[in-house]
Amino acid sequence: ILIVEFANQLQETDGASKREAIERASTIRLRPILMTTVAMLVAMIPLLTASGPGAVSRFHIGLVITTGLGIGTLFTLFVVPAVYLLLARDHNATAASHGDEPTGAPERAT
């Protein structure tokens, strides 16, 4: 969601194309996404290496969380930008086609 929001802001404020905007937004958001993923994966190590009573159920819970987080991260890094390029509207083209319309609030009638 944040990658898409950043890309939309870059299109509106900087006049970037869809591709430029999503590339820059992905670059900006890469470090926070990876830091969050790595922190969560490190936090799952005790569940994956558990021993003793209940270790099997803890292992399975840790495996599900770790796998889901990995798949979610891959989707965030690769699928979201690709789908954005396919489905998002180009704010530059929209602004150019509506360039003759006033951008401010309508004036009050007196």
Q: What pLDDT score was predicted for residue 100?
A: 47
Domain boundaries, the chain: 2-95
User: Two tokens at 33?
Assistant: 């996404």
- CATH domain 2-95 topology: Multidrug efflux transporter AcrB transmembrane fold (1.20.1640)
In percent, the amount of the chain with pLDDT more than 70 equals 82
Find out whether 6 and 18 touch, Cβ atoms under 8 Å.
Answer: no
Query: What's the burial of 40, exposed, middle or buried (CB within 10 Å: 0-12/13-18/19+)?
Result: middle
pTM check: above 0.85 = no
Q: Which of 93, 92, 95, 85 is nearest to 26 (CA)?
A: 85
What does the CA dihedral 38, 27, 3, 61 come to, rounded to 10 degrees?
Answer: -10
Give the start-end residues of each E strand in the chain: none
Q: What pLDDT score was predicted for residue 1?
A: 72
